Amino acid sequence: MVSDPIARLALSSALVLVVAKVGGDVATRLKQPSVLGELIAGILLGSVPLPFLETLRTDPGMDVLAGLGVLVLLFQVGLESTVRDVARVGGHAAAVAVLGTVGVLVAGWGAAALVLPGSSTMLHVFLATALTATSIGISARVLKDAGASRTREAHTILGASVIDDVLGLVVLSVVSGAIQRTGGQDPPSPLGVLVLLAKTFGFLAVALAVGVKLSPALFRLTARLRTPGALVAVGLSFCFVLAWASSAIGLAPIVGAFSAGLILEDSHSARFVSRGERSLSEQIEPISSWLVPIFFVLMGMRADLRTLAGTSSLLLVAALTIAAVAGKALCAAGAPRGSDRIAIAMGMLPRGEVSLVFASLGLSLGILSSGLYSALVTVVLLTTLATPAALRWRLSRHPLTQA
């Protein structure tokens, strides 16, 4: 029996990391994103009836590591884009993102209200919100494998995904803030919604404006340090400070972490790269490879698929899956004229990392029960697994032309 808490945490981490990497390898061999393998591995691990695994689900030490993994994950998502990318995304890409987000919110809200008529409005809204985020990595990979990554459709999908992430986090901030204010039972007043919107947009505006202005000077000073790892230390500190600031004003910490990633560009690493060091994105990767899989495996372990055995649970999964697909189908209306609108809609279908973060937040806020959380995880799995086959089928029948 391991009694020392550090030794227990070390053993738990070792087990989770090995399971995560094996699951990720299996998924990769099946041409699926590794995150799906990590999630399914967690589900399988959580179904093993051992006392050690039972306590692992709620281990506070693992919870902290998983929480840090979420911040690093959203920081990485932000690093893949920049403030300039958001500002210059095309009008069609922006329309695709907005229409898809609105479509999913309306369809998801309606589906949840239909299947769960006795539940609170805030629960219906939260379930819809959790379905808004698009995991673009899998669509990008399918397009790349098909030689279609330079097409107008691919550019539209990738551009829309940048706006999609921002919109999803804004909606999440408003909804999670409303849940904290009302306890998740009653919808906030119109004034309360306006306050939450003002707070969210205000934080993003100030963080991005000040960050873009001050961060180059910060990293110029950092470049004077000859201490190994200075770049990654300051980069992560920047992420964690903005995550704290976001939490301090009542927003989700992931909003700050994502904002930090958006602010930082390749130019911040230029001085370090010129003297032979790796870029910030490259230096973050080993940390991400440690912390992020812990989050996904724990999320899988907390999903109890036995709760889906009832007819009502299966009906909820079916309704939310249909809403997730139908809502994103609306984004086809914003696609450029002459492009394959169906391929663009399919490219926006998969949910993934960010939706799982939303589900995890719902569990911690108490708005989601174990059964509802498991249903949401199942919807993420279904939409993500279905997208590659659907998109490949579409591309085989309607090849895209290069932009």
User: How many residues would you count in the chain?
Assistant: 403
Is residue 54 one of the residues assigned to a domain? no
Domain count, the chain: 1
Kindly report the CATH number assigned to the domain that includes residue 292. 1.20.1530.20
Q: What does the pLDDT look like over 321-371, one tens digit per residue? A: 999 999 988 888 888 888 888 888 888 888 777 788 888 888 888 888 888
- pLDDT for 293 equals 92
Q: Is residue 44 part of a domain?
A: no
Q: Which two tokens stand for residue 230?
A: 């200075």
**pLDDT 10s digits, 171-183:** 888 888 888 776 6
| Per-residue pLDDT tens over the stretch 10-63 | 999 999 999 999 999 998 888 777 888 898 999 999 888 888 888 888 889 999
- Are the C-beta atoms of residues 93 and 81 closer than 8 Å to each other? no
- Say yes or no to pLDDT of 103 above 60: yes
- β-strand partners of 402: 151
Sort 359 into a burial class: Cβ within 10 Å, 0-12 / 13-18 / 19+: buried
Q: Which tens digits make up the pLDDT trace of 259-300?
A: 898 898 888 888 898 888 899 989 999 999 999 999 999 989
Give the separation between CA 72 and CA 67, rounded to whole angstroms.
9
pLDDT tens digits for range 186-212 = 666 777 778 878 888 888 889 888 888
Instruction: Say if 107 falls within a structural domain.
Output: yes
pLDDT tens by residue, 6-24: 898 999 999 999 999 999 9
Q: Measured over all CA atoms, what is the biggest interatomic distance in the chain, rounded to whole angstroms?
A: 65
Can you tell me the distance from the alpha carbon of 321 to that of 333, in angstroms, rounded to the nearest whole number? 20
**pLDDT above 60 for 185:** yes
Cα dihedral across residues 180, 318, 37, 308: positive or negative: positive
pLDDT at 184: 62
Contact 107, 323 (CB under 8 A): yes
Helix (H) or strand (E) holding 67: helix 60-79
Contact 196, 188 (CB under 8 A): yes
Range of the domain at 131: 62-397
Could you tell me if 288 and 72 are in contact, meaning their C-beta atoms sit under 8 angstroms apart? yes
Query: Is 388 inside a domain boundary?
Result: yes
* Residue 321 near residue 106 (C-beta atoms within 8 A): no
Q: Is position 86 within any domain? A: yes
pLDDT of residue 204: 85
Residues 96, 336: Cα–Cα separation, whole Å: 9
Angle at which helix 253-263 crosses helix 60-79, to 10 degrees, equals: 30
Inside any domain, residue 275: yes
Tokens (6 digits) for 237: 């500190």
Instruction: Provide the pLDDT confidence category of residue 149 given band limits of 50, 70 and 90.
Output: confident
